[in-house]
Amino acid sequence: MFYNTFLLIPLVITILLEFLVIWIILRYNPARIFIYSVLINCLTLPLATYGYNYVIFNLLIIEVLVIMMESILIMLLFKIKYFKALLISIIANLVTMLVGLIIF
């Protein structure tokens, strides 16, 4: 039970923070941004957590991989240019990482 809660709280915080970053930058339909934020982070956060805990014990490498994966997903889902998607992903993940380091 504790393990599930331990993983759920960071996921919810990540989804909310990245939703806000994407919405502030794109000013797009908030419902769609929220759904895409849920989809993207339900894919990348578990992979990042698993990767960090069992494969690569380097937060920087994990973050770079997550940023690359999320930027591609953002580009495809929002139909924007890759550079803008990459910038959004970098900002969103920096915000999430900083808040995560402060909280946890």
Q: Is residue 21 predicted with pLDDT exceeding 60?
A: yes
Predicted pLDDT at 65: 95
pLDDT one-digit tens code per residue, 22-55: 999 999 899 999 999 999 999 999 999 888 889 9
Task: Tell me if 30 sits within 8 A of 52, measured CB to CB.
Answer: no
For the chain, percent of residues with pLDDT exceeding 90: 70
Q: How many domains does the chain have?
A: 1
3-state secondary structure of 27: coil
In this prediction the pTM is 0.89
- H helices present in the chain, as ranges: 2-26, 30-50, 59-78, 82-103
Q: Which domain holds residue 11?
A: 2-103
